[in-house]
Amino acid sequence: VVSLLIAAFFFKELFSKDDLTSPLFSGLDDLLVVYFYPQWPLIVVLVGWILSTIVGNILVGLQRDHDSPPSSIEGNLKTLRMRYKMKEHRFASRENTARYLVMIAPGGNFLALLTILSALGFIIAGVTMPVIEFKDAGLAAQGLLATSKPLKASFSVIDVIQILGFDGTQEGDQIGPGLVLKFFFVGIAVVAPAVLQLFLLLLYAAPLTMGEQRKFYAFAQGLRSWSAPEVLCLALLILKLTIAIFPELALRVFCKDINELLIDRYLLPLALIQESDGFCYQIESKILVGYYVLVFGSFSCAFSASLFCSMTRAAMEDREAVLQLEKAGLKNEMYKPRNLPPKVRLGLFTWVMRKYARKCVKSNLLKNARSGKPMTSRSKRSGSRKGSKSPKRKGSKDTPINTPKSYLNSPVDTLSPADTPNPILSSNPMFGIGKASMELEAAFEL
């Protein structure tokens, strides 16, 4: 609907300007007003739909998810202090991107920044470069060569804004459907995509608190619903097709009189043209390189918005999971703190093996829980017996092993002291990777 409105309004405004239209058909604005001018009811429906989408996305972004009821707090004052401290701690989304393959790969931070900057650059280039070209054609255009200069002009998005009279210097800029359409045209095609990329860059790189992270995430979701440069691309394509079929549909009656008066009496006798077949007036349109740049920029904006919004959402969920574990106030005596490297780079093979290991551990846990048989390990040592000098290895059917559970998939209320992580580890942003490596070792033992 938006694409049709923009294409129709641009078509009408293009042919109503005397300096952009051939003198032969400079009075077509009355005809075009009847067929192509948008009306108030359609504009009101359009405004209501877009505003409801934006408000709905903002409300969903601000809503807090409570999947499980809060557990009993041990050490109320200590837990509240810890929760307040972690909420006030500033973090960026790039610190919690270990679950995404593009961030796990070497140079992931550079690729992420390159994605945002390239999308922003392609949008700016597509707005400023010429996207479409019009020129006169047909038999009447050949006759105009002797009297005036035919229309041949290329337009960019900035030129389209000027043609629509957005600068306020053209006539008919009073409050009406046309002015509302101009604002939406500029907003969804130029302003919203550029501002959205700046918000995504801020969410990814800037250290923010949990509250600030949620607010900026909600604003990014709202801008994402309103950012639609692909609507402009579709409008230009509709405009190209409309101009190609317009002479045949609307100018057939005019061409009959013009062929009889202009072509048969003047152009053919003076040998200015060789034949009289075809329509008297045609307009040829051509898509330029800037159009394809704008199309690629719109796809880049959509990809970066989807990627970085999901990354921000996952980072906030990880922070909430750590807060829930800290809220339990339990100690882990099974695992000892490990000195993890400051930056872990995992390859594709390790990432796939980690996913497979988690799946194996969960399936074996579920299978043995249903059958009532404990899981065993052939590689686990049972310790020394009385009267023996060295420990003996027991069989796989004798000794069960304690396989660690995934802290992201287990409710807080069901955590036992042996399965609850150490506060030192849980406060570490790389705690999830250390946990996954332990599950990987347990899966290899199985």
Q: Where are the domains of the chain?
A: 2-318, 344-381+393-445
Give pLDDT, residue 238: 79
Tell me which residue has tokens 């033992």: 445
Give pLDDT, residue 16: 56
Distance CA 430, CA 341 (A): 9
Q: Can you list the residues of the chain whose pLDDT is less than 50? A: 18-37, 64-84, 98-99, 101-104, 165-173, 330-346, 375-433
Q: What is the sign, positive or negative, of the torsion defined by CA atoms of 191, 192, 196, 197? A: negative
Tell me how far CA of residue 220 lies from CA of 57, 215, 426, in angstroms: 9, 9, 29
Phi first, then psi, for residue 133 (nearest 5°) are -130, 140
Give pLDDT, residue 254: 66
Distance CA 308, CA 314 (A): 10
Give pLDDT, residue 141: 56
Write the CB contacts of 27 (distance below 8 Å, at least 6 apart in sequence).
none
Each residue's pLDDT tens digit, 23-49: 444 444 444 444 444 555 556 666 777
Reported pTM? 0.54
Give pLDDT, residue 135: 74
Q: How far is CA 287 from the centre of its chain?
A: 26
DSSP string, 382-414: --PPTT-SS--BPPTTT-B--PPPPTTTS-STT
Q: Which residues pair with 135 in a beta bridge?
A: 152, 284
Write the CB contacts of 290 (distance below 8 Å, at least 6 apart in sequence).
125, 126, 128, 129, 130, 131, 156
Angle in degrees, 0-180, between the axes of helices 289-328 and 192-205, rounded to the nearest 10: 40
Give pLDDT, residue 330: 43
Q: How far is CA 259 from the centre of its chain?
A: 53
Tell me which residue has tokens 């409570």: 66
Give pLDDT, residue 25: 46
SS3 content of the chain, % helix, strand, coil (to 5): 60, 5, 35
